[in-house]
Structure 1
Amino acid sequence: MVLRQRWAWALFLALGAAGCLQRSAPPVVAPNGTVVAVAYVRDEAQQRGVVADVPEAVKQAVTEVLAKRNLQVQVVPYAQYSAEFAKVTDSQRRFAMLTALAPQAQLYLLVETRASRFGEVNGRFSWEVYARTTAGRAGSQLEPSTTNQDYGIALQFSHLGANDAQVEVGRQIAGQAAGLFDSFLASPLVAPAPETDGGPVVVPGLDAPAGGQQPSPPSGAGGLDGGAVWVPPAGDAIYFVMVDRFANGDPRNDGKVDLKDAQAFHGGDLQGVISRLDGLRALGVRTVWLSPVFQMRTEKFYGYGAFHGYWVEDFGRVEPRFGDEALLARLSEELRRRDMRLVLDVVLNHVGPETRLVREKPRWFHGQGPIDNWSDARELTMRDVHGLPDLAVEQEEVYQHLLGHSRRWVDAVKPAGYRLDAVKHMPLEFWARYNDDLRAHAGKDFLLLGEMLDGDPVLLASTMAEGRFGTMFDFPLAFALVDVFCRGRSPAHLGAILFNDRLYPAPGSLVTLVDNHDLPRVMSECGGDVERVQRALAVQLTARGVPSLTYGTEEGLSGKKEPENRGDMRFTPDHPLRAWITRLLELRRGSEALQGGETLVLAAREDLFAYARVTPDEAVVIAVNSGKAPVDVALPDGLVGSRLSEMLTGVEIPGAGRHSSVIVHPGQVSLLRLKPSAAGGFGALTKQAGARWRGQGERRTVELTVDDASARLVGSGPELGGWKPERSLRPESGGFKLSLPVGAVFEYKLVRDGTPGKFDWEGGDNRLLFVPEGREPLRLKLAWGKR
């Protein structure tokens, strides 16, 4: 038997799967007799056209999870397809070959892997295994569903190879396959699978649409099993308060303060928040999210201040500088009295440096020192973030300590939810268990909002689903808003980011932002230009999801880095951003389309992005024109003839019943409301927009010819490799032939193979691809480095 040393993290995953961290929900089962045909292939990382079979241990892991779903696995012999798979790298074509090889099966699964070795790290040999699983139904006219994932592992000995690396992540690959079939087998009404009488087998849920990724449910619908997705309250808007920096309502609890020292405490407290609730409600806020209020380290650590509250010492007590438990409960009550809600910030990954718990319970901590390699998945979850003692949450005693206090605060204070800190630094198995356990105690409407500071929507979406979060902060959109409005990037970049909505379990629940207390203030990012900030806020506050604001945005607070971005709050009645935010949130609360409309792209080019949010009774056009001249944007047939008005002013635009386009003025964000002028409304268009935006609507052939046979294509979205060059598309017959959803917006670039393991990227801005309606193929010619 080959001996191998796994990461401690891999051992933890195995223990979690076998014991306390396993999810409690049983898998959904198929009717008796449902056959799934499976093919496996490993593509050689460095040699195109070279393939191999995958280890039997991986196949066995997949067979076991499918058997739990009552699926009969028919493994297609590798020899029957290996030669053809070596000629073809496209997953859809391989999948079509699989269906032809097993015509009697009802379901199909294609498992493709690739293993790459990256060298030696601390005496172990680093590997990355890429796994792509594709599943579909026999005879379906819809595209099969696909999911991808990279797994970083380490092997102890240099002679261990690609097969050993695959075996290490066999359980995770099996989990990918299980997730795909769970989505197929889930039906609206959970019921035992029916027995069959030997006739055609119909699997519940298999007639549901499926695209390149798992489809997102409509805004506000539950997309995760067990009702994990949070349904936002109507008209919600979240406001983050850093308690020490907001308002000093009771100087008696200040302790030592120094208003001239940006790293010192400044005296803000819970009473100060209570005193400002009416002002927040007038701004349009409906949910107040507090920075951590639990007893914390209060002394500086190597010159860094503790005022922010994230250095928790005792999760079971309120920090005396802020007040006490009774005052926190009163704040929650005062919010409810105003039809507002409280969200508490919960820190579960670590405690403050040199706090009492570290001395009293040293075994509760990993004690492996600070993170050295921020690209190492094991270090991210097992080591100390910036020196903060990392809790060993895989220990049952530690888990119960954290869950017990979390439950008690729900009972004592009655918050509407928790903001969950440092998601990427804790195992997803922990999050899945914690979120389900807390939701069972607090109720399905309790907000479990994950903070994962990452711009990768694929990673964010998978984390939301696998971690059982109610929702997540939308950092990809936040970064895009800053890039477009503060740094001059093409407004069409917003479209490419938003088109990733189809990846999320429920994009309508995402919490949007333009900055937060860990990022530069948007005012600083935009160079102090109030109008640029107004445009960024106009797009954020009219986008799908729930908008969140950082305290002081309405006052133009600035600051590029900590602690300058955590400055003291100001309260002035006439700052232009205060009136702007108030007006936008008022419009949002009064608009069905802005709260839950489907997305329909109208135009996307280098200097323009225009889209509509559509419901049967209303549509709102949001358009950004960065050019120097007005642009006439055509309306789709379903909106032609609508009554049209400027949303910010409420002024109706003459010509009711004759509008076939809208004018988008340069240098601003246009907000235009459309109302139906005839019976029937926009119902058909709303349905069409929803299907398109989830990748389930019409598709169009796109043909890209390239003058360089060595050039490959990579870009946004799984279809184009998700910006990972190792997944880039290779040209065939001088170009790329793609089938892409109508209404899609992508960004992409050309890349070439460079030195081993490296890629050369063409220079310049990203290329843009918008797929409009049309029956003929969309044809484009590409040349390396030329636009």
Structure 2
Amino acid sequence: MAFNTAVMQYFEWYLDDDGKLWQQLAEDAEHLNELGITHLWMPPAFKGTGTNDVGYGVYDLYDLGEFDQQGTVRTKYGTKDEYIQAIRALKDQGIKPIADVVLNHRANGDEKERFPVLKMDPNNRQQPISDVYEIEGWTHFTFPGRKGKYSDFTWHYYHFSGIDYDALNEETGIFMIMDENHGWADNESVDDEKGNYDYLMFCDVDYSEPEVVEETLKWVEWYIEETEVEGFRLDAIKHIDRDFMEQFIKHVKEKYGDDFYVFGEYWDPDYDGEGGYLQDVDYIFKLVDVSLHNNFFMASKAGGSYDMRKILDGSLLNEQPWNAVTFVENHDTQWGQSLEASVEPWFKPLAYAMILLLQDGNPTIFYGDYYGVKNEHPFDGLQYELDGLLYLRKYHAYGEEIRYFDDAQCIGWTRLGNDEFPNGLAVIMTNGDMSEKQMHMGRANSGKKFVDYLGNNDAVVEIDENGDGLFPVGPGSVSVWINQEAVDNYQA
């Protein structure tokens, strides 16, 4: 059977630093397959600044938990051998393992170097606030624990465009490295926020340097062949020269095939930003749908005053659904994180129903929403609700879609099924009081009785001779109605 695709992001920011995630994932692979997960987004597997590094403070892309570097052999999630075993367990279950790839920067260099810089205005990176002067930075990466295994390439200051710490004067700031042919990427190649958003953090990799490009392309071949991953999630791409990103992905797809699954994080809540980027890179990969997440966040905060007819407006899902990787929450939007915009718990079942049961987009389930989060703002998770919605996506969300986005508080849609999955479903949700909506399920369902698979409403809806039914929903809730005869012993 050709089931709908579904991605799971298998980590959240506040996981325990116990080195056990890869083992847990290997043991969980069969369960994830049963849920209908087809793609599994794993956290960055590279050696970072220590075992407590979530993975985005990358030190060595060749160290997957194999060498004694940065005070540890394992990463936060385990060892290289455990990582490979988790990937194999996923593939044994028919799930594509997706690697989180961080190319923008390097952290915690091994030795200091001296070089000229301009100190830049942090709010306008095109505006210097000093003359050229010399500083010292931790820009020499020698990887002494690895001792040249896999690659003998070492990094120097001239492989970077900027850093954020002057060790000579013990001063933080944004320092643009001044050397022949170096500096920020062109404005046309990176996001123009803060004048030029090439610089994000740590030692910013300069992809105008031919040696850097050559080494990165060499590394990606090693990585794919060493791990046998089948896709990438690309981190922080709005800060990386888009010409290089296009070259990088074309190189990967030419060598490993168009089925190699790639999506990127271009964090811009304005569709024009994401849409323009996709056009510039010739639509060769997908992007996370930041605009849709932002709509979910605002709707969850506004409650009944939010106009649900506009919930998809300005989103990739609405404008370019084939390139949209939809999500409700992720590690960056969690409480306490840099892009904090956590969707209120009451609205998450509605939001997940949208990304999982509408016909368009590539939906992502967040680990913290499924298994819960343990931090200063604990969350028990929505495993019960998500099990039901994933079941519905796997077996019912097929065929023609009819939308009823015709009321400010109550919206719905139906899926009429196809030859392989004929049963279909009817979805209705509201951010206000209890409501109901007449929707069409097709004449083939005439006389059939429909029940709410999620168990949020105990009514029974009978489809009339025209194929229509009057479907109810409780206040601030979502109900998904399917043919009672199609309900098997599994209950959400």
Q: Give the TM-score taking structure 2 as reference length.
A: 0.70
On the 8 A contact 1:485/1:535 being kept in 2, the answer is no
On the 8 A contact 2:450/2:463 being kept in 1, the answer is no
Aligned residue number for residue 55 of structure 2: 309
What is the SS of the residue equivalent to 1:366? strand
Alpha carbons of structure 1 residues 321 and 368: separation in structure 2 relative to 1, 3 Å? closer
- Aligned counterpart for 1:482 among listed residues 269, 294, 297: 297
Aligned residue number for residue 546 of structure 1: 362
Pairwise CA distance, 1:343: 0.8
Alpha carbons of structure 1 residues 366 and 645: separation in structure 2 relative to 1, 3 Å? same
Aligned residue number for residue 182 of structure 2: none
- Aligned counterpart for 1:294 among listed residues 46, 50, 67: 46
Matches within 5 A, 1:57-72: none
Pairwise CA distance, 1:412: 1.4
Alpha carbons of structure 1 residues 630 and 240: separation in structure 2 relative to 1, 3 Å? closer
On the 8 A contact 1:644/1:656 being kept in 2, the answer is no
Pairwise CA distance, 1:345: 0.7
What does the per-residue CA deviation read over 1:569-611, in whole Å, with 9 as the maximum and x for residues that have no partner? Answer: x9xxxx6721221121111111252xxx455432323222223
- Aligned counterpart for 1:671 among listed residues 453, 456, 480: 480
- Aligned counterpart for 1:646 among listed residues 448, 451, 463: 451
Aligned residue number for residue 337 of structure 1: 92
Distance in structure 2 (CA, Å) of the matches to 1:589 and 1:441: 31
Alpha carbons of structure 1 residues 672 and 525: separation in structure 2 relative to 1, 3 Å? same
CA RMSD between the two structures: 3.7
- Aligned counterpart for 1:429 among listed residues 221, 239, 243: 243
On the 8 A contact 1:242/1:308 being kept in 2, the answer is no
What does the per-residue CA deviation read over 1:663-707, in whole Å, with 9 as the maximum and x for residues that have no partner? Answer: 3324221323489xxxxxxxxxxxxxxxxxxxxxxxxxxxxxxxx
Distance in structure 1 (CA, Å) of the matches to 2:83 and 2:214: 23
On the 8 A contact 1:371/1:380 being kept in 2, the answer is no
Matches within 5 A, 1:584-663: 584-593=389-398, 597=399, 599-613=401-415, 619-633=424-438, 635=440, 643=448, 645-646=450-451, 648=453, 653-663=461-471
Matches within 5 A, 1:251-270: 265-270=17-22
What does the per-residue CA deviation read over 1:453-495, in whole Å, with 9 as the maximum and x for residues that have no partner? Answer: 2212232223223224421111212222232234312222214
- Aligned counterpart for 2:220 among listed residues 403, 406, 411: 406
Residue type of the alignment partner of 2:74: R
Pairwise CA distance, 1:352: 1.4
- Aligned counterpart for 2:139 among listed residues 350, 355, 358: 358
For the pair 1:450 / 2:203, whether they are aligned, the reply is no
| Gap runs ≥5 in structure 2 | 66-72, 112-137, 141-154, 165-172, 176-186, 485-492
What is the SS of the residue equivalent to 1:344? strand
Pairwise CA distance, 1:435: 0.9
- Aligned counterpart for 2:192 among listed residues 371, 376, 383: 376
Aligned residue number for residue 382 of structure 2: 577
Pairwise CA distance, 1:656: 4.4
What does the per-residue CA deviation read over 1:233-270, in whole Å, with 9 as the maximum and x for residues that have no partner? Answer: 83332222338965xxxxxxxxxxxx7xxxxx444452
Distance in structure 1 (CA, Å) of the matches to 2:313 and 2:483: 24
Distance in structure 1 (CA, Å) of the matches to 2:478 and 2:97: 32
Distance in structure 2 (CA, Å) of the matches to 1:461 and 1:642: 45
Pairwise CA distance, 1:434: 0.9
What does the per-residue CA deviation read over 1:184-228, in whole Å, with 9 as the maximum and x for residues that have no partner? Answer: xxxxxxxxxxxxxxxxxxxxxxxxxxxxxxxxxxxxxxxxxxxxx
On the 8 A contact 1:477/1:512 being kept in 2, the answer is yes
Matches within 5 A, 1:227-242: 234-242=3-11
What is the SS of the residue equivalent to 2:385? helix
On the 8 A contact 1:381/1:427 being kept in 2, the answer is no
Distance in structure 2 (CA, Å) of the matches to 1:549 and 1:463: 24
Distance in structure 2 (CA, Å) of the matches to 1:656 and 1:492: 27
Residue type of the alignment partner of 1:443: G
Distance in structure 2 (CA, Å) of the matches to 1:243 and 1:272: 14
Matches within 5 A, 1:75-94: none
On the 8 A contact 1:296/1:312 being kept in 2, the answer is yes
Residue type of the alignment partner of 1:314: D
What does the per-residue CA deviation read over 1:497-538, in whole Å, with 9 as the maximum and x for residues that have no partner? Answer: 46x64632xx145222111111125999465x5x44333322
What does the per-residue CA deviation read over 1:399-448, in whole Å, with 9 as the maximum and x for residues that have no partner? Answer: 12112111111111111101100011012211111111111112110011
On the 8 A contact 2:162/2:203 being kept in 1, the answer is yes
Q: Give the TM-score taking structure 1 as reference length.
A: 0.46
What is the SS of the residue equivalent to 1:664? strand
What is the SS of the residue equivalent to 1:316? coil
Residue type of the alignment partner of 1:480: N
Distance in structure 1 (CA, Å) of the matches to 2:483 and 2:314: 25
Pairwise CA distance, 1:290: 1.5
On the 8 A contact 2:292/2:312 being kept in 1, the answer is no
Residue type of the alignment partner of 2:58: V
Matches within 5 A, 1:88-167: none
Pairwise CA distance, 1:324: 4.3
What does the per-residue CA deviation read over 1:1-20, in whole Å, with 9 as the maximum and x for residues that have no partner? Answer: xxxxxxxxxxxxxxxxxxxx
Alpha carbons of structure 1 residues 341 and 376: separation in structure 2 relative to 1, 3 Å? closer
On the 8 A contact 1:238/1:288 being kept in 2, the answer is yes
On the 8 A contact 2:263/2:288 being kept in 1, the answer is yes
Alpha carbons of structure 1 residues 655 and 434: separation in structure 2 relative to 1, 3 Å? closer
What is the SS of the residue equivalent to 2:353? helix
Residue type of the alignment partner of 2:309: A
Pairwise CA distance, 1:625: 2.3
On the 8 A contact 1:643/1:657 being kept in 2, the answer is no
Distance in structure 1 (CA, Å) of the matches to 2:268 and 2:253: 25
On the 8 A contact 1:237/1:284 being kept in 2, the answer is yes
Distance in structure 2 (CA, Å) of the matches to 1:476 and 1:532: 16
Distance in structure 1 (CA, Å) of the matches to 2:12 and 2:27: 12
Residue type of the alignment partner of 2:353: A
Aligned residue number for residue 765 of structure 1: none
- Percent identity, aligned pairs only, is 20
Residue type of the alignment partner of 2:450: S
Greater gyration radius:
1
Residue type of the alignment partner of 1:402: T
Residue type of the alignment partner of 1:332: I
Distance in structure 2 (CA, Å) of the matches to 1:352 and 1:604: 51
Residue type of the alignment partner of 1:315: L
Alpha carbons of structure 1 residues 607 and 371: separation in structure 2 relative to 1, 3 Å? farther
Distance in structure 2 (CA, Å) of the matches to 1:629 and 1:610: 13
Distance in structure 2 (CA, Å) of the matches to 1:353 and 1:639: 64
What does the per-residue CA deviation read over 1:77-125, in whole Å, with 9 as the maximum and x for residues that have no partner? Answer: xxxxxxxxxxxxxxxxxxxxxxxxxxxxxxxxxxxxxxxxxxxxxxxxx
On the 8 A contact 1:647/1:672 being kept in 2, the answer is yes
Pairwise CA distance, 1:381: 4.4
Pairwise CA distance, 1:344: 0.7
Aligned residue number for residue 782 of structure 1: none
What does the per-residue CA deviation read over 1:270-299, in whole Å, with 9 as the maximum and x for residues that have no partner? Answer: 234323334444544332222111122228
Q: Which moved more, 1:642-651 or 1:474-483?
A: 642-651
Alpha carbons of structure 1 residues 579 and 312: separation in structure 2 relative to 1, 3 Å? same
Distance in structure 2 (CA, Å) of the matches to 1:644 and 1:474: 36
Pairwise CA distance, 1:627: 3.2
Distance in structure 1 (CA, Å) of the matches to 2:249 and 2:50: 29
On the 8 A contact 1:243/1:268 being kept in 2, the answer is no
Select the structure with the greater relative contact order (CA < 8 A; seq sep ≥ 6).
Answer: 2
